[in-house]
Structure 1
Amino acid sequence: MATRFPLDIRQIYVDPRAAALPRGQEILNRFPQAEHLQVTSHQNIPGLHGNAGLVKDWLRIKRQVLVLGVRKTLTLRPNGRSADFIAPGMANGCALSCAYCYVPRHKGYANPVTTFANIEDVLSALGRHAAKQGQKLTPNSVDPAAWVYDLGENSDLSVDALISDNVRDQIALFRALPHAKASFATKYVNRDLLGYDPQGRTRVRFSLMPAATARTVDIGTSSIPERLAAINEFVEAGYEVHLNFSPVIIFEGWTQAYRELFGQVDAALTPAAKAQLAAEVIFLTHNAGLHEVNLGWHPKAEGLLWTPQWQETKTSEYGGTNLRYRRGLKGQAVSRFTALLREELPYCTVRYAF
């Protein structure tokens, strides 16, 4: 069964500078039924950001509210795990409602999509940066030959593509960059992307976890069977497709659940998909503030995410209190997971695991 369309935009908070741009006009015209509310900044909207009373409307706001702004910061940051560089994102926030998502930690009690209209600025910044890098002479775990740019650090590009042509334009850019490749992780199957003609220059990382776990924590996303079925289609359409086992959540029976998932992967994929397969593995990091937010709209998820008996606190670089699996436990769990993955999917390269 296909995932329902995740958007029902009824209100758009509009920065006039974004509305004056061609892409801004296209987005406003895409949702003609929506009410427009003018704001001076997409980052601080009174009544939306920081309003604790909105937590009960968490799901509705994500589906019905859109913020249209202008991206100011065009800095590209080095990464080294999922990508060589993190690109300036063309969106922030998501219409999906994964209970562990870190983006809401920085956006208060409402986390609708913020879409940026100045696509030409971002495309120019990416083109200049890629040209400056030149050819990749030293292979690394990210990619042996191409500089890889993560386009969706704070959003899901498969959902962003429902809002505007920003994703189509970015994929088109990377077709023309000889030494660079785009990359993004997704939990939503948007088959419109099959017509974007990536020509091998865009890597899609389909996020996977045991289906029963996903039904609890991946609210509004495509089901695990649908994501698995889409992998072959995206490979045939010219995408490089990797797996993103993130977050790996520890619970009673988790290794058996992942053994079953790996079997489902093996049964679903074509030889062509298997031949190019690689994976990244990221164990759960939770957050005290997000825990409190989740208790207001989806407390059931916290039974999986908030397990202090297995977790320890660590202060993040931004001063927040994060919970991670205890050091000794996590090390054993990572080793166990990667050994199981290699046993069940021996053709799947593990690019990194932590």
Structure 2
Amino acid sequence: MVSDNVADLIATFRQLPTAKASFATKYVNRHLLDLDPAGRTRIRFSVMPDRDAQALDIRTSRVAERIAAVDDFVEAGYEVHLNLSPVVLRDGWAEDWTTLLRQLDDTLSPAAKRQAAAEVILLTHNRDLHEVNLGWHPRGEELLWRPDLQQPKRSGNGQDNVRYRDDVKRAGSSGCGR
């Protein structure tokens, strides 16, 4: 919404028969519905259970609004996928994700379901981002920064991150403590 870059990219990829634009978002920009992506742009709406979104997804479109927008974007010619992320392991996480998946099933049209794909992403975090977040959103960090449950991980780009320990992932909700 700040510039015409997204509209320009959608127009460019509309003309490229062997390439597709793809971007993830937590914001529903309905101005994109006025463009003609001609099936050459994929939007990946990030969704998570409402309980997590209330603590983590501030200054974004509400998850229900993102889900409600999927059918409109499919009808407008976009390929729409879902990023189910981040999966935050805490007490009640599995039940909350079950509720979200049922909401998706109850809300999305058959056309949206036929073309949809999803990626499930367990929480990955890093100390630098943790320090930044402490300055502007410390409440969210209570869920994200859990050294008692996390282990170091070197990402593909060389960044030092943390992720849930293997035993924590195997155990699922037991022992998550929050």
TM-score when normalising by structure 1: 0.47
1:303 aligns with 2:142: yes
Cα deviation code 1:61-86 (max 9, x no counterpart)? xxxxxxxxxxxxxxxxxxxxxxxxxx
1:172 aligns with 2:25: no
For 1:37-186, list aligned pairs within 5 A: 162-186=1-25
Cα deviation code 1:287-313 (max 9, x no counterpart)? 112212222221111110011221112
Correspondence for 1:248? 87
Which runs of 5 or more residues in structure 2 are unaligned?
Answer: 173-178
Q: CA deviation at 1:331?
A: 5.4
Correspondence for 1:329? 168
Structure with the largest fraction of helix:
2
Distance 2:68 2:111 in 1: 14
1:202 aligns with 2:5: no
For 1:256-295, list aligned pairs within 5 A: 256-295=95-134
Distance 2:45 2:140 in 1: 21
Cα deviation code 1:207-240 (max 9, x no counterpart)? 0000121111111000011001000000010001
1:225 aligns with 2:59: no
Distance 2:156 2:96 in 1: 33
Cα deviation code 1:255-314 (max 9, x no counterpart)? 000000001101111111111111011111111122122222211111100112211123
Identity %: 60
- Matched letter for residue 206 of structure 1: F
- Matched letter for residue 215 of structure 1: Q
TM-score when normalising by structure 2: 0.90
- Matched letter for residue 66 of structure 2: R
Correspondence for 1:61? none
1:204 aligned counterpart, secondary structure: strand
Which runs of 5 or more residues in structure 1 are unaligned?
Answer: 1-161, 334-354
Cα deviation code 1:18-61 (max 9, x no counterpart)? xxxxxxxxxxxxxxxxxxxxxxxxxxxxxxxxxxxxxxxxxxxx
Distance 2:153 2:55 in 1: 25
Distance 2:75 2:171 in 1: 37
Which is greater in Rg? 1
